[in-house]
Chain A
Amino acid sequence: MFPITTLLISVGAISGLVAFLAILMVIADATIGNYGEVKITINEQKELIVQGGRPLLSTLMSEGIFIPSACGGRGSCGLCKVRGIRGFGQYLPTELPWISPEERGQNIRLSCQIKVKNDLQISIPEELFNVREYRVQVSRLRDLTHDIKEVTLKLADADKMSFKAGQFIQFEVPAYEFTDEPVYRAYSIASAPVNNGEVELEIRLVPNGICTTYVHRHLKEGDQVVINGPYGDFFLRDTDRDIVFIAGGSGMAPIKSILLDMAERGVARKVTYFFGAKARADLFLMAEMKALEGKLVNFSFVPSLSVPEEDDNWEGETGMITDTVAKHLSSGDNVEAYLCGSPGMIDACVKVLTAGGVPEELIYYDKFA
Chain B
Amino acid sequence: MNSAFFPLAVFFAAVFINNILLANYLGMCSFLSVSRELKTSVGLGAAVTFVMATTSLLNWLVYHYILLPLGLDYLRFIVFIVVIAAFVQLVEMIIERVSETLYAALGIFLPLITVNCAILGVCLFMVIREYDLLSSFTFGLGSGIGWFLAILAMAGIRLKLARARVPRGLEGAGITLIITGMMALAFMGFTGMIRL
Interface residues of A (CB under 8 A from B): 1, 6, 9-10, 13-14, 17-18, 21, 24-25, 28-29, 32-33, 89-94, 115, 117
Contacts and interface: CB of A to CB of B under 8 A. Distances in A.
B86 A25 contact: yes
Nearest to B105: A93
A28 B70 contact: no
B171 interface: no
B104 A32 contact: no
A110 to B, nearest CB: 13
B93 A14 contact: no
B86 A14 contact: no
B97 A89 contact: no
Given A32-B90, A32-B94, A90-B104, 13 more contacts: A6-B71, A9-B72, A13-B67, A13-B72, A14-B78, A24-B90, A28-B89, A33-B97, A90-B101, A91-B104, A93-B43, A94-B108, A117-B96
Contacts of A6: 71
Contacts, number: 58
Contacts of B86: 21, 24-25
Contacts of B39: 93
Interface in B79-126: 79, 82-83, 86, 89-90, 93-94, 96-97, 100-101, 103-104, 108
A17 B93 contact: no
B113 to A, nearest CB: 14
A89 B96 CA distance: 12
Interface of B: 39-40, 43, 62, 66-67, 70-72, 75, 78-79, 82-83, 86, 89-90, 93-94, 96-97, 100-101, 103-104, 108
Contacts of A25: 86, 89-90
A310 to B, nearest CB: 43
A32 B93 contact: yes
Contact of B104 (A10, A13, A89): A89
B78 A13 contact: no
Nearest to B100: A89
A29 B43 CA distance: 25
A1 B82 CA distance: 27
A93 B101 CA distance: 11
A122 to B, nearest CB: 17
